[in-house]
Amino acid sequence: MNRDCCFDLTADIWIGNNVVIGHGVTFITATHQIGPASRRAGKVEGSSITVEDGAWIGANVTVLPGITIAAGSIVAAGAVVTRSVPANTLVAGVPAKIVRTLLD
C-alpha cells in the first residue's frame, strides 16, 4: 500500500492477500439517498468494498461503494471503478471498463 491513500470507513473495506495499492487510491464506502430539492444529499448509507487476493490497483484510482475487485485483476491508474471487476481482468478509464482478460 502506497502513500496518500484515503479510506472512507462508513462501511467495511476488505483487502485480501498480496494486493498492491498504488499512490493516492481512494476507497469510498459512503453514498447518500437522494433527498428533496431543498437538500439532494439525503441520508448517508454505507456499502462495503472488497479487494480480493492478488489484485493490483494503480495510482489515483477511485473505488466507489459496494464494489468487489476480484482476484488477480488490475485496475489501471486513474480509473474510477463504478462496477465490480471480474477476476483476472484489466479495467481502465472513467468509468472503468474491461480492456482485456488476463492469463493466469
Catalytic positions, written as ranges: 32
From residue 91, give the alpha-carbon distance in Å to each of 53, 55, 70: 16, 12, 11
Containing H/E element for 42? strand 41-46
